[in-house]
A and B are shown apart, each in its own frame.
Chain A
């Protein structure tokens, strides 16, 4: 069974601070995705990483896929209150048909 472990589960920081969220597994994933979910809404895709060692940037967000494709990280620079939400990593199962295996999520609160 493929599992994804996210850490930390909760994060409360001040505006302007930097943070990193980790997503780890003992299994190899074909790809990893990061989603952001706000209360009462469905998850919204932020990025997909496919190649081991790949780094993608989305404004103040930097995503990295581990060389062995077993882990990923999300780094936010100079966090803003608008970054508050639930961050989820998700991996595609071995069949690559769209089934997503999600981590348990990291709840981020950025205080003004």
Chain B
């Protein structure tokens, strides 16, 4: 089992550009959540996808959008990048409703210059 895989692992973008990050969930998992983790901080919830719909959203602007595909994989898109968007972006997959265990990928390190 490959677990949760994210791509790319590292990315450098310029302010104002757009970026797409990708996530393949653990086999058997149908729910994908995205988190942003600034250096030295805990992860912050961006949004969660289930059955190809955004089920929950954290306190992030509309520049952050996502998608879930029929095979449960997911993308995170960020438009009009700001320097403050530099962070580690984590994808977590899970299954089930009651306190599901979240399995995290290794993250994508995004640097905006």
Interface residues on A, range: 20 to 34
Determine whether B74 belongs to the interface, using a CB cutoff of 8 Å to chain A.
no
Q: Which of A52-60, A66-74, A88-96 contacts B (4 or more CB under 8 A)?
A: A88-96
Q: Which residues of B contact A33 (CB under 8 A)?
A: 99
Given A41-B107, A42-B105, decide whether A100 and B45 contact each other with a Cβ distance below 8 A: yes
B42 to chain A, nearest CB (A): 3
Interface residues on B, range: 20 to 34
Q: Which of A11-19, A43-51, A77-85 contacts B (4 or more CB under 8 A)?
A: A43-51
Determine whether B53 belongs to the interface, using a CB cutoff of 8 Å to chain A.
no
Determine whether A98 belongs to the interface, using a CB cutoff of 8 Å to chain B.
yes
Q: Contact at B101–A48, with CB atoms within 8 Å?
A: yes
Q: A interface, by DSSP: helix, strand, loop or mixed?
A: loop
Q: Contact at A98–B44, with CB atoms within 8 Å?
A: no
A48 to chain B, nearest CB (A): 6
Q: Contact at B56–A97, with CB atoms within 8 Å?
A: yes
Q: Which residues of A contact B44 (CB under 8 A)?
A: 102
- CA A104 to CA B41, docked complex, whole Å: 5
Q: Which residues of A contact B103 (CB under 8 A)?
A: 45
Given A41-B107, A42-B106, A105-B41, decide whether A96 and B101 contact each other with a Cβ distance below 8 A: no
Those of B56-90 within 8 Å (CB) of chain A: 56, 58, 90
Q: Contact at A101–B45, with CB atoms within 8 Å?
A: yes
A27 to chain B, nearest CB (A): 15
- CA A97 to CA B100, docked complex, whole Å: 8
